[in-house]
Structure 1
Amino acid sequence: MDLKKAVWRKASRSTNNGGNCVEVASTSDVVAIRDSKNPDGGMVVVGREEARALVERIKNA
């Protein structure tokens, strides 16, 4: 899977003061998540349904 041309979006609650933040990019099949402070440090790639379930778990935590 090649995400070199992926469009990464920073979390809407992110600030530019170096706080903890993630970036997300999605394709028709997967969602990729990475640390905005270290974009070359790796990423987590999950299926779209798994990403949806993760977001719901975070919301309900």
Structure 2
Amino acid sequence: MNGIVWQRSSFCGGGGNNCVEIAELLDGIAIRDSVYPDRVMAVGRSTLSAFIRHVRADEGNA
């Protein structure tokens, strides 16, 4: 997955190396942990959107 432009989460404070990073692919989204940049998970946009909606809906139940 060379040549991909990775974007760090806005919650990644201080430029540390323990961040969630995402990149746009032609057919989905790539996600990785900056601690392990070679371990990449690719998901479809609709799958990621559904996951984010679920997490946001459950925020008050933690």
- Bin the TM-score by the shorter chain: 0.7 to 0.9
Distance 1:8 1:29 in 2: 16
Q: Where do 5+ consecutive residues of structure 2 fail to align? A: none
Report which of the two has the higher share of strand: 2
Report which of the two has the higher share of helix: 2
Query: Which 4+ stretches in 1 moved above 6 angstroms?
Result: none
Alignment length (residue pairs): 58
Identity of aligned residues (%): 36
TM-score, normalising length from structure 1? Answer: 0.76
Q: Where do 5+ consecutive residues of structure 1 fail to align? A: none
TM-score, normalising length from structure 2? Answer: 0.75
